[in-house]
Amino acid sequence: IQNALFGMGNPLLDISAVVDKDFLDKYGLKPNDQILAEEKHKALFDEIVKKSKVEYHAGGSTQNSVKIAQWMIQEPHKVATFFGCIGTDHFSEILKQKAAEAHVDAHYYEQSQEPTGTCAACITGDNRSLVANLAAANCYNKEKHLDVDSNWSLVEKARVYYIAGFFLTVSPESILKVAKHASDNNKIFGLNLSAPFISQFFKEPLMKVMPYVDIVFGNETEAATFAKEQGFETEDIAEIARRVQSLPKVNKNRQRIVVFTQGREDTVATVVKIFPVLDIDQNDIVDTNGAGDAFVGGFLSELVQEKPLEECIRAGHYAANVIIRRVGCTFPEKPDFH
């Protein structure tokens, strides 16, 4: 089971702080969103680190999910493999240390042109607005990393693959190579819609990889945006899930599974079923940053062990419920999931 789960994405250091509405307005941020940093956000990073209660956590959507999967599994270590690009700086050392502490088998492509990527998590109440400055993460190089025999052999060892849609902005050719490998070998490839901007502005690479995708993850906003961009002409989440399920697929041996979470509302999954989430008192919600990543991580932890869909979703709900009680995508020493 070692290296059975493979993830590839943008390794980022999360810089999170509680901010007010004025801060969001100043930088033109929505309370609950994920965007890529632009020139106008440069000052935001300088300002957020000066906040009184700023916290630094290892982040990056895919990396969060594989860490949570590893945490749920506990033993053996290094069930999860992770690839991504970092710099050669203090932040990269933190990311390496945190991956090691989480017992994830991280193989970073290290370069010195760009500093390690960061993500400002601007917390207001139970909303989080994420602004990612990819920097080094954007420098992932297929030829210099993924294609190297020692690295590709780790890809071949895996049974389950998961990549957040965010990586489509970085290396769609790397995603396609992994997705085709999974499809050709009847393995499981999962992709997350990740953020509305992916469906809007990275439609072409997204739809290029879709025929190889066995499991599509997303939340209600991302599902609605995807449907709109694809001209589905429906806002019904179960109907969108059905439509995504029936998009063209290369490997006919596996029917595509679509899983849409809706925060505190029920999770919708195909074969279309509704799965209630765990109740949580509003006061127990510390920070919803990482909840979606945690859901995927819990889901993958059971999937790697070849458990049925119901169990995967139950584990996803459990992991998300743990994470929203804590700052950032962090977790206690051991899970209490049976």
Residue 33 resides in a domain: no
Residue 279 is among the residues annotated as catalytic for this protein: no
Provide the greatest CA pair distance for the chain. Answer: 54
Q: How many domains does the chain have?
A: 1
By the 10 Å C-beta count (0-12 exposed, 13-18 middle, 19+ buried), 180 is classed as middle
| ω into 196 cis (within 30 of 0) | no
Tell me the C-alpha distance between 210 and 249, whole Å.
7
Q: Tokens 């749920």 appear where? A: 72
Instruction: Fill in the DSSP letter of residue 278.
Output: P
The closest of 53, 80, 48 to 64, measured between CA atoms, is 80
Instruction: Fill in the DSSP letter of residue 142.
Output: I
The closest of 121, 135, 142, 112 to 8, measured between CA atoms, is 142
> What pLDDT sits at residue 275?
65
Q: Is residue 69 within 8 Å of 315, Cβ to Cβ? A: no
Residue 22 resides in a domain: no
Q: Is residue 36 within 8 Å of 132, Cβ to Cβ? A: yes
Residue 48 resides in a domain: no
Give all strands of the β-sheet with 127-133 in edge-to-edge order.
33-36, 127-133, 118-124, 12-18, 55-59
> What pLDDT sits at residue 273?
64
Name residues whose C-beta falls within 8 Å of residue 318's C-beta, 6 or more positions apart in sequence: 278, 298, 335, 337
What CATH number did the domain enclosing 167 receive? Answer: 3.40.1190.20
Residue 158 resides in a domain: yes
Residue 246 resides in a domain: yes
Residue 336 resides in a domain: no
Residue 310 resides in a domain: yes
Q: Which of 14, 214, 287, 293 is catalytic?
A: 293
Residue-range definition of the domain harbouring residue 223: 5-12+59-116+134-324
> What pLDDT sits at residue 325?
83
- Give, for all 338 residues of the chain, the pLDDT tens digit: 999 999 999 999 999 999 999 999 999 999 988 899 999 999 999 999 888 788 898 899 999 999 999 999 999 999 999 999 999 999 999 999 999 999 999 999 999 999 999 999 999 988 889 999 999 999 999 999 999 999 999 999 999 999 999 999 999 999 999 999 999 999 999 999 999 999 999 999 999 999 999 999 999 999 999 999 999 999 999 999 999 999 999 999 999 999 999 988 988 998 656 667 778 877 776 666 688 899 999 999 999 999 999 999 999 999 998 988 877 777 878 989 98
> What pLDDT sits at residue 52?
74
Which amino acid is located at 198 in the chain? I
Residue 302 resides in a domain: yes
Tell me the C-alpha distance between 293 and 250, whole Å.
27
Tell me the C-alpha distance between 180 and 143, whole Å.
17
